[in-house]
Structure 1
Amino acid sequence: MPELPEVETVRRTLNELIAGKQIERVTVTLPRIIQKPQEPEIFAAALAGHTIQSVERRGKFLRIILDGLVLVSHLRMEGRYGVYKQDEAVELHTHVRFHFVDGTELRYKDVRQFGTMHLFAPGEDLTLPPLNKLGIEPLDEAFTLQAFKKEVAHRTTKIKPLLLNQEYIVGLGNIYVDEALFSAGIHPERTANTLKAADWSRLYDAIRATLSRAVDAGGSSIKSYVNGQGEMGMFQHELLIYGREKELCRSCGGPITKTVVGGRGTHICLRCQPLPKLRTKAKQVRQSAK
């Protein structure tokens, strides 16, 4: 699934390609992509005649801002957008086509068919599902170390699934959580309430730095991701731990292992990310008696 850097890259390229274009009509060939309104005919009719003003992002969602409407789109596993001339052949698995008056089209292709589109009045999109319960943006100015700790530091959940929870921090997925935890030297099974001040500081810096570098590189093309111009991301060549199981850690030379944490495949270097051994109550009593 595209994470924040990939969706941000798509946003930037689409904003360059379609801002200012007027929609003549819309063709929907897979109705279940359209979640609001549920009737694809109403969705298409509502968009006809409107002009795209900009493309924005909230977490892993695209927000296509039009004059009087907001289209919220989630790419899910393999959704992708591309701009074509109207006379170009339509590729298989193209489910939604936005026909512009200038003779070009924005096409949405989705092999897995998990993507979604919601249409809202301006401002309504931020108060209703799927955007209304999203957490803080990790690349915004509001994402300070203090705000980060306030959201999650007191929780007893393991740190990896906590970072993956979009209600606390948005945009982080499996790739960048593994990378940030490795850079911070934190084992993914540590619970948030056991992290020390120095741990939080390292993790905060690692999240910001990892995401910023990934955005600059155009995201990671691990599977089928491409941006709005059909170009692959390049950050997969800079990954330090994700997808490198059975290889040697570039920091310490130890083996990188893969396990499962919170139901997700997880990459760890146990030398760089040790899991502190918790002393039992009996041991604490014996030590205190000495």
Structure 2
Amino acid sequence: MPELPEVETVVSILKKNVIGKIIKNISILYPNLIKTDILVDEFKNTLINKTILDITRIGKYIIFDLGDYVLISHLRMEGKWFYINDLSLVSEKHIEAIFSLDNGYYLIYDDTRKFGTFNLELKDEYKKINPIVKIGPEPFNEAVNGIYLFELMSKSNKYIKTILLDQTKISGIGNIYADEILFDAKIHPESKTNKLSLNAYNNIYESSKKILRRAIELGGSTISTYKAGHGISGKFQNELKVHLRKNEPCFVCKTNIIKIKVNGRGTYICSNCQILY
């Protein structure tokens, strides 16, 4: 599943290729992709002849700036964007939307699981309404620090991993990076948030920035459950310390990594290095 580093990588690749391009035609092959209350023909007519002015990211959402409107894309489990000049390069079976551009290329949204979403909203309003209005700040936000996390999370008795995955609290962290962050911070994922000290939250904050920055540098993680798309291959999976390393020795203490479930999510830990609070 794409997380903040993977989405950042997709945005970076798309920005290099489609900024300034004009949408000349649109084919919607899976209408349920569109979550805005709008007819498919109205969706298409609104976007045809629009120029892609910018592409940004809020949490795990990709924002296409189209002037008066924005197209908000969430990749969910398996969504991918392809920028290609030959439709045969992508399996037709999983194509959900095709945007024909004025340079002869296609911007294709492909999703094997069909969980991804499109929202078409007015640019002046989209940050005030769903789905964006509920998104919490990400670890790189200047307002976020250890004190912020402590004040936000310490009144709950939920597991710390569960809270880290709550995009309304802190955005951009998914299952892979929650495992890596908590290992780096030496905190067991089943630690209760009201048991953690300010120092523990400082460690989580610093580890979050460290892990996510490194993952962005390496283009995210390309693992068996998610590959980002045409021409995009992450390398951070080569630096994973615990995630997907069940029964392999911890790089720090040589104890075998174990896999547990935390609120239904597969979770990898070193039971020796990570302290349960």
Question: Shared fold (TM-score greater than 0.5)?
Answer: yes
State the structure with more CA Rg.
1
Q: In structure 1, how many angstroms separate the alpha carbons of the residues matched to 2:124 and 2:58?
A: 13
Deviations 1:65-121 (A, max 9, x none): 111110000111111001112665653211101111221110111111111100011
Aligned positions of 1:267-282 closer than 5 A: 267-276=268-277
Partner of 1:201: 202
Partner of 1:30: 30
Q: In structure 2, how many angstroms separate the alpha carbons of the residues matched to 1:254 and 1:41?
A: 58
Deviations 1:25-50 (A, max 9, x none): 11101111111144211111110111
Q: How much is the aligned-residue C-alpha RMSD, in angstroms?
A: 1.5
SS of corresponding position for 2:245? coil
User: Gaps spanning 5+ residues in structure 1: where?
Assistant: 277-290
Partner of 2:77: 77
- In the TM superposition, residue 272 of structure 1 has moved relative to its aligned partner by 0.3
Aligned: 1:54 with 2:54: yes
- In the TM superposition, residue 263 of structure 1 has moved relative to its aligned partner by 1.2
Q: In structure 2, how many angstroms separate the alpha carbons of the residues matched to 1:141 and 1:262?
A: 30
Percent identity of equivalent pairs: 39
What is the identity, as a one-letter code, of the residue corresponding to 1:243?
A: L
- In the TM superposition, residue 157 of structure 1 has moved relative to its aligned partner by 1.2
Aligned positions of 1:214-225 closer than 5 A: 214-223=215-224, 225=226
- In the TM superposition, residue 200 of structure 1 has moved relative to its aligned partner by 1.4
- In the TM superposition, residue 213 of structure 1 has moved relative to its aligned partner by 0.4
Partner of 1:130: 131
SS of corresponding position for 2:134? coil
Aligned positions of 1:102-251 closer than 5 A: 102-223=103-224, 225-227=226-228, 229-251=230-252
Contact kept? 2:181, 2:211, Cα under 8 Å:
yes
- In the TM superposition, residue 173 of structure 1 has moved relative to its aligned partner by 0.6
SS of corresponding position for 1:109? strand
- In the TM superposition, residue 58 of structure 1 has moved relative to its aligned partner by 0.8
Partner of 1:288: none
Q: 1:23 to 1:86 in 2, by over 3 A?
A: farther
What is the identity, as a one-letter code, of the residue corresponding to 1:188?
A: P
Deviations 1:206-245 (A, max 9, x none): 1110000000000001125444642210000000000001
Partner of 1:11: 11
Q: 1:116 to 1:191 in 2, by over 3 A?
A: same
Contact kept? 2:3, 2:173, Cα under 8 Å:
yes
Deviations 1:102-146 (A, max 9, x none): 211101111111111000111321111111111111122222222
Q: In structure 1, how many angstroms separate the alpha carbons of the residues matched to 2:221 and 2:155?
A: 32
Contact kept? 1:5, 1:211, Cα under 8 Å:
yes
What is the identity, as a one-letter code, of the residue corresponding to 1:261?
A: V
Q: In structure 1, how many angstroms separate the alpha carbons of the residues matched to 2:225 and 2:190?
A: 29
- In the TM superposition, residue 154 of structure 1 has moved relative to its aligned partner by 2.4
Which segment drifts farther, 230-239 or 142-151?
142-151
- In the TM superposition, residue 275 of structure 1 has moved relative to its aligned partner by 2.0
